[in-house]
A and B are shown apart, each in its own frame.
Chain A
Amino acid sequence: MSSPVVASIPESAAAGGLAEFDRTTSRWGRLTMLAGLLVSLAGPLYLVFFADLDVTAGQLWTAFGAVAAVFMMIWLVEPITYFPILGPAAMYQAFMIGNISSKLLPSALVAQNRIDAKPGTPRGDFAAVAAICGAAALHLLSLAVFVGLLGTWLISIIPVDVIDVVRLYILPSVLGAVVVQAIISVKQPRITAVAVAISLLVQFVLVPLVPATAFLATGIAVMATIALSWLVRDRTPQPAVEH
C-alpha cells in the first residue's frame, strides 16, 4: 500500500511548510469565522434589544424554533458533505462567504482544471483556496457596487420577468456547466458512473418513496458515492507508481 501521493512529497521541509499553512489557516480561519458570526448577529440583536420594537423572547424563540425544525439537519449535513471536497482550510472561507455549490465550488474546480491540479492533493487544495479568495474578492465588489450602491436604481430599470427567470433557473444553469467540468477535469469514468447511478437512485427512487429525505439527498448521494467508489475501486497495482 505504498502511496504515490505520499512518495511524491519531497522533503520534511515540504511537510513543515504545509504544517505551517495548516496552522495559520486553522487558527485565523476559525478566528475570522467567529468574528463574522458575531458581527452578523450584532445587527439583529441590536434591533431586538434596543430598538424599542416590543419584541418578546417568546416570539423570538418560536420563530427560531420553526426555522431550526426545518433547517437543523442541513446545518449539520452541509459541512459534512462539503468537507471532503473543500478541505479544512477552505471550510472556514466557504461557510462564511456562502453560495457554496453555485459559486465557490465551481470557482475552485475551474482553477484546478486551469492549472491541471487534482482535487484532494496539496496542489488542488491550494488552487481551491486561491480560487475562493478570487471569487470572494469579485463577489464583495459586485455586491458593493450592484446591490449596495446601485441596487435601488437597478430595481427600477430591470424588467421583472428577467429577474424571475434568473431566480428560477440560475441553479440548473450553473450546475449543468459545473457537472460537465467536474467530469472532464477529474477523468475518473468509474467514479463518474457510480455517482450517476447513485444519484439517479437517490433522486428518482429514494426521495419519491420517502419525501422526508429530500433535504438529505445530496448528503446521502455523496456518502453512498464515496462508499461504492471505494468498493468498486481499481484494485490493479497503481499505475502512478511508474515514475
Chain B
Amino acid sequence: MLTHLVSTAVGGGSSTDVLALANMPLLWICAAGVFAVIAVQSVIYMKAARKAAPAAGITQEELKVSFRSGAIAAIGPSLAVALVAVALLAVFGTPAVLVRIGLIGSAAYETGAASIAIGTTGAELGGPGYTQNAFAIAFFAMSLGGAMWMLATLILTPLMKRGGNKLAKTSPVAMAIVPTAALLGAFVSLSIAEVPKSLVHLVALLTAAAVMGLCAVIGRSPKRAWLREWSLGFAIVVALAVAYVVHTAGMPAA
C-alpha cells in the first residue's frame, strides 16, 4: 500500500527499472504472436507453392532444395542478428528485441528510431533519464514506424503488381531486364556504400567477395554442389574473422 502511494506520488512511469516493464508477460505473448503469424504465413506459402509447382516449371524436389538452401544461407545472417539482438537485451528487454530487432525491422533501423524517439523526451537510450515512461514512448514510436513499413507494402504492392502485369503484356523484354537490373543495382550499390565507411569495412567486403568467388569456382562441379549452399556462411565467418583481426590491430574503425 505504501509503495503504491509512493510510486504514484513520484508519478507513474518515472521508475528506471525499465526491464521489469519490458519483460512483462503480455509483451512476451505479443512477441510469440508475431512468431506464430510468420510461421502460419510460411506454411500457407509453401503449400501454395507446392500445389502450383508444375505450372511454374519447378519440381517438388527443387522446391525442397530451395527451402533448404534458403535456410542454410540464412544461418550466418541469422546468427549475426541474434548476436546483435542479445547485445540489446539490456536496453529493450527480450520481447521488444525479438519483435523489433529480430523480426520486422533491423538493428540499425530500430535502434536509430528508438534513440530518435527517446531524444524527444530529453533522455538518452540506457542513460539516467531512461525511465519506464521513456521506454514506452520509444517502443511505441519504433513499433508504429515498423507498422508504416508494412502499411506501405500493403498499399504499394497491389499497385506495382498492376504496373508489372501491364509491363509484362506490352514489353516482355523489359520484364527480363527489370528484375536482373534491380537485383544488381541494389547489391552493387549497397556494397559500394560500405567502401567509404572505413578500411576495415573495405577489408571485410573484399574478403567475403574473395571467399565467395573461390567457393563458386570450387563448387562448379556437381559433386560439390553442397558448397553453393554453405558458401555464404563460410564467406561471412571468414570475413568477420579477418575484420576482427584488423579491427583489434587498431586500424581506423567506423
Select one of B35, B107, B173, B212 contacting A181, CB under 8 A: B212
CB interface residues, B 16-48, toward A, < 8 Å: 21, 26-27, 30-31, 33-35, 37-42, 44-46, 48
Q: Quick check: B133 and A54 within 8 Å, CB to CB?
A: yes
CB interface residues, B 81-139, toward A, < 8 Å: 81-87, 89-90, 94-99, 102-107, 109, 112-113, 116-121, 132-133, 136-139
Q: Quick check: B42 and A18 within 8 Å, CB to CB?
A: no
Closest Cβ of chain A to B242, distance in Å, is 9
On chain A, the number of residues with a Cβ less than 8 Å from chain B's Cβ atoms is 171
For residue A64, which residues in chain B have a CB less than 8 angstroms away from its CB?
Answer: 117, 140-141, 144-145
Interface string of A1-39 (1 = CB under 8 A from B): 101011011000111111011001110111011111101
For residue A135, which residues in chain B have a CB less than 8 angstroms away from its CB?
Answer: 70-71, 73-74, 78
Select one of A1, A89, A95 contacting B153, CB under 8 A: A95
Q: Give the contact-size bracket for chain B.
A: 35 or more
Q: Interface centre among B118, B121, B185, by most A CB within 10 Å?
A: B185
For chain A, what secondary structure do more than half of its interface residues adopt (helix, strand, loop), or is it mixed?
Answer: helix
Q: Quick check: A122 and B116 within 8 Å, CB to CB?
A: no
Closest B residue to A37 by CB, please name it: B150
Q: Quick check: B140 and A47 within 8 Å, CB to CB?
A: yes
For residue A161, which residues in chain B have a CB less than 8 angstroms away from its CB?
Answer: 244, 248
For residue B104, which residues in chain A have a CB less than 8 angstroms away from its CB?
Answer: 36, 40, 95-98
Interface string of B191-209 (1 = CB under 8 A from A): 1111111001110111111
Q: Quick check: A169 and B185 within 8 Å, CB to CB?
A: no
For residue A70, which residues in chain B have a CB less than 8 angstroms away from its CB?
Answer: 112-113, 116
Q: Quick check: B150 and A33 within 8 Å, CB to CB?
A: yes
Closest Cβ of chain B to A76, distance in Å, is 6
For residue B81, which residues in chain A have a CB less than 8 angstroms away from its CB?
Answer: 99, 102-103, 139, 143
- In Å, the complex CA distance between A121 and B74 comes to 23
Q: Quick check: B188 and A179 within 8 Å, CB to CB?
A: yes
How many contacts A-B (CB < 8 Å)? 631
- In Å, the complex CA distance between A192 and B181 comes to 8
Using known A-B contacts A79-B152, A168-B254, A177-B236, determine if residue A134 contacts B71 with beta carbons closer than 8 Å. Answer: yes
For residue B33, which residues in chain A have a CB less than 8 angstroms away from its CB?
Answer: 39, 42
Using known A-B contacts A47-B140, A54-B13, determine if residue A188 contacts B145 with beta carbons closer than 8 Å. Answer: no
Asked whether any CB of chain A lies closer than 8 Å to the CB of B218, the reply is no
For residue A154, which residues in chain B have a CB less than 8 angstroms away from its CB?
Answer: 86
For residue A166, which residues in chain B have a CB less than 8 angstroms away from its CB?
Answer: 80, 83-84, 240
Interface string of A128-161 (1 = CB under 8 A from B): 1111111111111011101110011011001001
Q: Interface centre among B63, B78, B180, B243, by most A CB within 10 Å?
A: B180
- In Å, the complex CA distance between A97 and B156 comes to 18
Asked whether any CB of chain B lies closer than 8 Å to the CB of A212, the reply is no
Q: Quick check: A143 and B102 within 8 Å, CB to CB?
A: yes
Interface string of B170-195 (1 = CB under 8 A from A): 01111111111111111111111111
Closest Cβ of chain B to A189, distance in Å, is 11
Asked whether any CB of chain B lies closer than 8 Å to the CB of A41, the reply is yes
For residue A120, which residues in chain B have a CB less than 8 angstroms away from its CB?
Answer: 175-176, 178-180
- In Å, the complex CA distance between A87 and B160 comes to 9
For residue B186, which residues in chain A have a CB less than 8 angstroms away from its CB?
Answer: 81-82, 85, 101, 105, 218, 221-222
Select one of A8, A13, A167, A176 contacting B84, CB under 8 A: A167
Asked whether any CB of chain A lies closer than 8 Å to the CB of B166, the reply is no
Closest Cβ of chain A to B192, distance in Å, is 5
- In Å, the complex CA distance between A154 and B105 comes to 22
Asked whether any CB of chain A lies closer than 8 Å to the CB of B56, the reply is yes
Select one of A62, A131, A169, A238 contacting B204, CB under 8 A: A169
Using known A-B contacts A1-B173, A70-B112, A173-B235, determine if residue A129 contacts B132 with beta carbons closer than 8 Å. Answer: no
- In Å, the complex CA distance between A125 and B247 comes to 39
Closest B residue to A149 by CB, please name it: B94
Between A and B, 16 residue pairs with Cβ closer than 8 Å are A43-B95, A46-B26, A48-B137, A54-B12, A63-B138, A84-B182, A95-B153, A111-B69, A122-B57, A130-B46, A134-B71, A151-B97, A180-B216, A222-B189, A225-B181, A226-B182
Known: A117-B58, A118-B180. 19 other contacts (CB 8 A): A17-B52, A25-B45, A33-B154, A43-B139, A44-B140, A45-B140, A79-B160, A85-B182, A93-B42, A104-B74, A115-B69, A127-B62, A151-B86, A151-B89, A177-B208, A194-B181, A203-B195, A204-B192, A226-B182
